[in-house]
């Protein structure tokens, strides 16, 4: 087994440890558990404390964007494996006028980044320190604070201040919060890499005196950093004292991010990507997110079949889903990249007639080996760890925000004097084009490492409307490329199988990403009979089952009541009022 293959399997194993065992999907007392209800507002995030902070902001008169900023900053404290100010992401929202907006605050490669910076003299990927996944060189320039400030200044309510949004997170860092068993154990599971970096070892591992359930985690350095950010805004992070501390620690440890890199960072507004599935408008993120494109292409292919008649858990349904997804991920590998660096033929990839061509290659009872599935022809010019939260306010504004530091605990590096845990997003660029990254995804030359490039992402914040154009539900997920599968299958569950938002995100899922040519499956939801039939078609299943991401969503019922849902595969809480 090669080092690269070991690396991929190790990543998959470690990622699977982050989720609780899948729950039974049986009904309780004859009916499914109900989503949380709220007449005026709803916040659904991966931590109860963060969700409550969001609700508090809504009650003070803030809108969903204001609450999204406060929740994101709080998660940087209470959900350190994924919540962040040292990473980046995407915010998609629909305002109270019904207009859609997308903010890209994805990380950017440092100015000194180069195509072959993560390969050795033999052309092999560097492992450990100096690689694209661990250590100071693995980090892209963070975008979270720039994105949050852009959203707040342009789309906030004007009824709460920036300081009011930051202060709850600062207090959590200063005073601490009680650790769950999951988080205490997760620190220990990642000790082999966290302990390599003195600040991470001290803060999260207590220099070997490991945290236990019920202990209180205080982060005084992060509290001081958040205090500066509360007073000075995002400028402190990009050109103030925090920027100097980041650049100094990077320089002292062989990292690439400089003060100039931080000054050069820009969050961008982009045009949301619009699609349609069975008469419902679906809105998602454009590149450098690949999620929207893969989702729309897959749904366009599936629209040619009567999915409802096949049944939600049938082998026939999963066969078609896997085949459609296989083709969309093959196109992802070839065509997707940062649109500021490469021409991305997105309009053609999500064109209904293109899906018809791809659909024509699918056989009813036979899997197509991935070696035989190539990317489609779209010639001519155009006319991964992660957390998601969803927020709806009293005026109908809804926000779907997904942000990440990539792998759990990112690069494992905490910047000295700041408490900031940094991302390892350089791995989402193609460290070696044509070879798999941390999540087993193969990416092409378009996504090669280049200065200031934004890494390709699988984050898929999405909003779906009813046929009359009113907002129906919004959702997103955490889990690398499996995010796309979780969001797509949840949408199918609502539209084709009449599930509510909690049922939709709780139901069992499969995942196929073209390469490797195998299906990830969920043991407590996929029956042996279904798998046997699919194996008869020629499908290959992973030897071990695992969770296919973890989703979070909010739905509006016919009376406008907000229905919040947290995936039972993970923790967190939906709180309404």
Q: What is the pLDDT of residues 114-164, one digit of tens each?
A: 999 999 988 888 998 899 999 999 999 999 999 999 999 999 999 999 999
Cβ contact 571:180 at 8 Å:
yes
- The span from the CA of 434 to the CA of 118, in Å, is 14
- Dig out the tokens for 561 from the structure: 């009541």
Transcribe 66-130 into DSSP letters.
Answer: HHHHHHHHHHHHH-TTT--SSSEEEEEEE-TTS-EEEEEE--B--TT--TTTTB-TTSPBP-SBT
Is 301:328 a contact under the CB 8 Å cutoff?
yes
Instruction: Quote the CA–CA distance of 228 and 245 in Å, as a whole number.
Output: 13
User: How far, in Å, CA of 493 to CA of 502, rounded?
Assistant: 10
Please tell me which residue, 140 or 342, carries the higher pLDDT value.
140
Alpha-carbon distances, residue 228 vs 262, 509, 547 (angstroms):
16, 43, 39
pLDDT tens digits for range 434-485: 676 666 666 767 789 999 999 999 999 999 999 999 999 999 999 989 999 9
What pLDDT is attached to residue 30?
42
If you average pLDDT over residues 360-373, what whole number do you get?
95
pTM of the predicted structure, to 2 decimals = 0.92
pLDDT attached to residue 13: 36
**Cα distances (Å, whole numbers) of residue 248 to 202, 245, 259:** 19, 5, 9
From CA 300, how far away is CA 39, in angstroms rounded?
Answer: 34
Mean pLDDT value across residues 262-273: 98
Residue 424's alpha-carbon distances to 126, 141, 143, 464, 567, in angstroms, are: 14, 10, 13, 31, 25
The single-letter DSSP state of residue 305 is: S
Q: Residue 383 above 70 pLDDT?
A: no
386 given a catalytic annotation: yes
Distance CA 467, CA 453 (A): 38
Percent of all residues in the chain with a pLDDT value above 70, rounded to a whole number: 91
Does residue 500 register a pLDDT over 60? yes
pLDDT at res. 8: 38
Beta bridge partners of 119: 125
pLDDT of residue 437: 64
Closest of 70, 126, 461 to residue 295, by C-alpha = 461
Residues 6+ apart with CB under 8 A from 161: none
> How far is 240 from 259, CA to CA, in rounded Å?
9
- Structure confidence at residue 308 (pLDDT): 98
Q: E strand or H helix at 12, and its extent?
A: helix 3-16
β-bridge mates for residue 390, sequence order: 44, 400
pLDDT grade, residue 5 (50/70/90)?
very low
Q: Annotated catalytic residue: which of 133, 386, 414, 552?
A: 386
Written as six digits, the tokens of 317 are: 């349904």
Residue 351 — pLDDT band, cuts 50, 70, 90? Answer: very high
Mean pLDDT calculated for residue range 35-59: 98
Average model confidence (pLDDT) for the chain?
91
Structure tokens of 337?
């990249």
């Amino acid at each position: 087994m090669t080092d690269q293959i070991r690396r991929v399997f190790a990543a998959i194993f470690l990622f699977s440890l982050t989720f609780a065992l899948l729950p039974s999907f049986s009904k309780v007392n004859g009916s499914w558990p109900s989503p949380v209800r709220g007449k005026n507002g709803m916040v659904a995030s991966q931590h109860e404390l963060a969700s409550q902070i969001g609700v508090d902001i809504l009650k003070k008169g803030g809108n969903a964007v204001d609450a999204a900023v406060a929740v994101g900053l709080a998660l940087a404290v209470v959900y350190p494996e994924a919540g962040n100010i040292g990473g980046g992401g995407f915010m998609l929202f629909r305002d109270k006028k019904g207009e859609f907006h997308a903010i890209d605050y994805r990380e950017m490669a440092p100015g000194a980044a180069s195509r072959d910076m993560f390969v050795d003299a033999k052309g092999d990927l560097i492992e450990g320190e100096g690689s694209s996944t661990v250590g100071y060189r693995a980090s892209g320039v963070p975008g979270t604070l720039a994105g949050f400030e852009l959203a707040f200044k342009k789309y906030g309510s004007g009824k709460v201040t920036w300081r009011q949004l930051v202060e709850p997170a600062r207090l959590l860092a200063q005073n601490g919060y009680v650790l769950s068993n999951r988080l205490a154990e997760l620190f220990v599971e990642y000790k082999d890499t966290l302990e390599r970096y003195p600040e991470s070892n001290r803060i999260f591992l207590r220099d070997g005196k490991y945290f236990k359930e019920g202990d209180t985690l205080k982060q005084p350095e992060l509290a001081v950093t958040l205090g500066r950010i509360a007073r000075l805004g995002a400028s402190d992070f990009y050109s103030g004292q925090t920027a100097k501390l980041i650049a100094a620690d990077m320089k002292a440890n062989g990292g690439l991010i400089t003060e100039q890199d931080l000054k050069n960072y820009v969050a961008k507004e982009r045009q949301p990507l619009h699609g349609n599935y069975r008469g419902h408008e679906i809105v998602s993120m454009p590149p450098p997110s690949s999620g929207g494109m893969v989702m729309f292409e897959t749904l366009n292919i599936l629209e040619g079949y009567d999915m409802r008649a096949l049944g939600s858990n049938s082998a026939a349904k999963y066969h078609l889903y896997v085949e459609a997804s296989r083709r969309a991920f093959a196109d992802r590998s070839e065509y997707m990249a940062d649109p500021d660096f490469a021409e991305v033929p997105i309009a053609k990839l999500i064109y209904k007639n293109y899906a018809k061509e791809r659909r024509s290659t699918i056989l009813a009872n036979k899997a197509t080996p991935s070696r035989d599935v190539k990317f489609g022809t779209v010639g001519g010019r155009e006319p991964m760890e992660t957390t998601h939260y969803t927020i709806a306010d009293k005026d109908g504004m809804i926000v779907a925000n997904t942000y990440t530091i990539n792998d759990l605990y990112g690069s494992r590096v905490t910047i000295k004097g700041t408490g900031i845990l940094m991302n390892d997003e350089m791995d989402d660029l193609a460290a070696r084009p044509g070879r798999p990254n941390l999540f087993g995804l193969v990416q092409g030359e378009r996504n090669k490492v280049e200065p200031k490039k934004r890494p390709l992402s699988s984050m898929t914040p999405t909003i779906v409307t009813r046929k009359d154009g009113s907002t129906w539900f919004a959702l997103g997920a955490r889990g690398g490329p499996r995010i796309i599968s979780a969001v797509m299958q949840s949408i199918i569950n609502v539209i084709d199988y009449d599930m509510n938002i909690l049922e939709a995100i709780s139901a069992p899922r499969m995942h196929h990403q073209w390469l490797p040519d195998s299906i990830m499956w969920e043991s407590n939801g996929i029956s042996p009979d279904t798998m046997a039939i699919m194996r008869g078609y020629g499908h290959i299943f992973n030897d071990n089952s695992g969770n296919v991401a973890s989703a979070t969503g909010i739905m509006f019922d016919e009376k406008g009541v907000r229905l919040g849902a947290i995936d039972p595969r993970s923790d967190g809480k939906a709180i309404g009022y």
